Amino acid sequence: MSAVPVPETGGLPVGREAELARLAQVVEALVNGRGSVVEITGEPGIGKTRLATALVDLAARRRLPVARAHAVRGGATPLQVFRDAFEARRGFPRPTGGGGRAFAEFRDRPARWAAGGVLVLDDVHWCDPVSTAALVRLVRSVVSGPFVLALAHRPRQTPPELREALEDGVRAGTVTRIEPGPLDAEAAAALLTGPHASASPTPHSYEPAALREFAGQVCAASEGNPRHLRLLVAAGWRPGHWPDRPGTDLDGLLREAKPLIAELDALTSPAATAMAAAAVLGSPFRPQDVAQVSGLGLDPTLDVLAELERADLVRPADWSGGLRFRHPVVGHVVYERAGSSVRLRAHHRALDLVTARGGRAAERARHAEHLLGADGVDAARTLAEGAAEVAVRTPATAARWFRLALETMPDRDGDRAARTALELACCRALIASGQPEEARARAHELLGDPRTELTDSQTLQAHTVWADAERQLGRYKEATAVVEAALGLLPRPLPDPLPPEAVRLAIEYGLIHVVRGTHEQARTLLREAARAAGGADRADRTVLRVLSALCATHAGDIDEAGPEVTDCARLLDALPDPLAGRTPETLALLGCAELYLERFADAARHLGRGLETADSDAGRPILMHRLLALAMVEQWTGRLDASERRARQVETLARAIGAEGAVMLARAMRATALVWSRGRSHAAEAVALVEEATTVTPPGQSWWATSATGLLAQARLLAGDAAGCRRTLLEGVGGERLPLVRPFSRPFLLALSATAALECGDRDKAHHLVQAAEVEVGRLGLPVQEAYVQEARARLHAADGEHDAAAKLFALAARAFRAADMPVQYAWTLTVGAPSCAEAEGLTEALRQLDVAETVARSYGASLVRERVEALRAELSGSDPAVNALNLLSDREREIAQLAAEGLRTRDIAERLFLSPRTVETHLFRVYRKLGVSSRLTLSALLRRTG
């Protein structure tokens, strides 16, 4: 073993609490006189050395003798020496001579360490054969006395005899195995901001939610490996560039890669040459391709690839005969360390190889971009073809290749049309990869260049990408002006069939109005364009139809929207994810339409499709819409915590793009979720969330504002502030008839207003509003909207003493909410209808109804419902508890209560009734709760009093 300085500790390893706890147990056992062998094993860079350092620190704090060393790859001296890592203490053998001591002097046993100690040996996979044999004997020997031997190693490179000895020890219980796995996103975020953070400042500038998002993405790219994560962050990693490029700071990558570079420096010259060739080819690669690009020849290449596999730098790929780097970042480090002349020669050979076998355009473009200058026209053509091939999958790469093609292509009059086509394609790739500013500038320049004679088709395309860029930047007025100028160039009525570029312009027009909330202004043109779009490709036709259906939904035309949304969902479900995601807006638009049509399961499926791989740098306005709609779906279907978290995510995203209306709506969603989940004790805090937002962006006539107003009004009513609910609706949505509210939600808000009026004592106004809601819901035919109105009418009947009619309407509404998968609203309706149920059907049925509501509320974390259940149960049973006590119980509960009052134990009752003791205890708990008693003694007294 070769002595080295101890690595800097920098605090405890992040995300390794379980492993640290096991190490602490090992040290505690050592203090108590029990030694052991500890194996720390795992992937390169997973954190074995940091755990070994943590073990040394734990032992040193307990004032135990400690030493550590690590093996050096290729060490020539058997029985290599070690050096103390910390001061030698009582009973620990001190170093001699040059500060080292050989294993042989310990006779392969730690017998001389009688006073106790910890010896940590790192990188033992690189031990020479003699040292390995000594370690095998140590592992297989019974540890005598207080001594801990810790071995850290990479299992893929460890000699099989040592692996076998450790495995036998694990099975026998003499070896404690600690095998750290990949970090999760939370640990990755802590690693980025803690004492182990990379020198790169980028993650520290993120807001907390954005940091969590970035950490999750980079954690996935690094496969949870801490060393790979540090390399990627140091390289300035971005999702849109991976895995094609490690990032933008290649110097930072190499600075952070010193441990990996040490491995590469230990390679033989042919192996280093083969590694450079493989890095140029890209992972995965074929051995025969490496042989040709490196110039080594096939047999020598196979020999060095075997060497690289033993060094665990390359591993078998998924397909037969292929190889890959153990992680893509290894290939990037190898590539950047290779000299420019080596890379240039290798790219020439690789391009010839790929071209000769008819490889894909993207393969050729990967090499052509490094060989610019030899033949500009050919290079530009190759790059353009490759960019077109990868534009959907990796738009950032496509944008880079389009730029290079434009820079390389000769600026001749005869090439103007080709340059314009490339320029437009580049703009689209820039927008898709989250670079709308550059796309806007290029489109503006293209339209303003007097040398460029654009065709009618190119003019429409240029306006479309310009408007798209303005929309992505949140400049909706400018986007509207650009697209309307282009629409003025089209004949009216629109030609049939509509050219593809005109179809895309109509789509952009619709998208702008959707994000602005002015759906009705786009409906006429979208309907006309959808009828004339027969010549467009399937994806564009589907987007156009979904846009038209969404606008019809907003207009309250359910008869038109319903069948169209069903048909579009069928078309979209038949598309694979890459094609369905080609226009991410499609999923957002369809999901929103399904949400408004009360198809919650379909909405959640489409809104969440591919969301985990969505690029946060591109399409943020539409991403924001998807998340908002998902938050609402989750709230209505009872996932209150998920809805509140999603709304927080939306708020962060909306702030980043300056969408204050969305901030207000997200806060309103959070408010209603918090009131449902935490009850009235937190209601003031929840409502304050929205009031704070409205001081920045006061309610107005936008879709965002009216939606937020409706949610805030609901939160106020649930919180017990009926007057505040009425005031919010009257001030925020244009008066008691709610003229600013979309038709698909107007019945709900009219019913809400009616309930608030009733609770304020204005019964006549409540009747008037319920009548208006019934007229509105009759036009729509939406079951959930009808259920809200039925509940409001039931409240009026109850207030008028008509409990039979009220109970029937409450039951109808509850069944509708349950059928729509709205469990919290279902439980709430059962609860508020319980008093009428007690009058119409008896106290027993009312209490059973409250039991159901409480069970549902507990399952979904709806504290507000549970509070109301408890209050109503006390109210219903409190009039004459002595008379009504038995009516509060089910037959089984009455039977168990009687036996318990007679003095039978739980087990005796269970045996008599053929039940489990746990079931008996559950029934007794319900009996105590319903009767307001706390023990069998008081239960017995109550039952005697009631006979």
Predicted pLDDT of residue 577: 63
| 41 has pLDDT over 90 | yes
What the block records as the tokens of 545 is 């139809």
pLDDT band at 177 (very low <50, low <70, confident <90, very high): very high
Predicted pLDDT of residue 689: 62
pLDDT band at 312 (very low <50, low <70, confident <90, very high): very high
* DSSP reduced 3-state for 801: coil
Handedness of CA 851, 853, 855, 861 (dihedral sign): negative
Min mean pLDDT across 86-100, 378-392, 441-455, 583-597 is at 86-100
CB 803 within 8 A of CB 797: yes
DSSP single-letter state for residue 76: -
Per residue in 205-260, pLDDT (tens digit) is 456 666 777 888 899 999 999 999 999 999 999 887 788 889 889 999 999 999 89
CB 675 within 8 A of CB 644: no
- The pTM score is 0.71
Cα dihedral 537→538→544→546 (10° resolution): -170
Predicted pLDDT of residue 623: 78
Rounded distance, CA 96 to CA 664, Å? 72
Min mean pLDDT across 199-203, 302-306, 499-503, 514-518 is at 199-203
Q: Which residues contact 173 (CB under 8 A, 6 or more apart)?
A: none
Burial 676-696 (b: 16+ CB within 10 A, else e): bbbbbebbeebbebbeebbee
Per residue in 519-536, pLDDT (tens digit) is 888 889 998 998 888 777
**Which strands, in side-by-side order, build the sheet including 175-178?**
66-70, 117-122, 147-153, 36-41, 175-178
Predicted pLDDT of residue 624: 82
Predicted pLDDT of residue 697: 45
Whose tokens are 């990996």? That residue is 260
Q: What angle do CA 327, 331, 336 make, to 5 degrees?
A: 140
Q: What angle do CA 42, 48, 52 make, to 5 degrees?
A: 140
Q: What is the DSSP string of 862-885?
A: -HHHHHHHHHHHHHHHSS-HHHHT
Min mean pLDDT across 112-126, 178-192, 280-294, 459-473 is at 112-126
Q: What angle do CA 863, 694, 621 make, to 5 degrees?
A: 90
Whose tokens are 């609402």? That residue is 632
| 872 has pLDDT over 70 | yes
Share of the chain above pLDDT 70, in %: 83
DSSP single-letter state for residue 497: S
DSSP single-letter state for residue 414: G
Neighbouring-strand partners of residue 153: 41
DSSP single-letter state for residue 147: E
Rounded distance, CA 683 to CA 672, Å? 9
Rounded distance, CA 222 to CA 48, Å? 17
| 332 has pLDDT over 50 | yes
Q: What is the DSSP string of 88-120?
A: --TTSPPPBTTTBB-GGGGTTS-TT-TT-EEEE
pLDDT band at 98 (very low <50, low <70, confident <90, very high): very low
For residues 106-119, give the mean pLDDT: 57
Q: What angle do CA 100, 106, 111 make, to 5 degrees?
A: 130
Predicted pLDDT of residue 884: 55
Rounded distance, CA 80 to CA 67, Å? 14
For residues 33-62, give the mean pLDDT: 92
CB 577 within 8 A of CB 609: yes
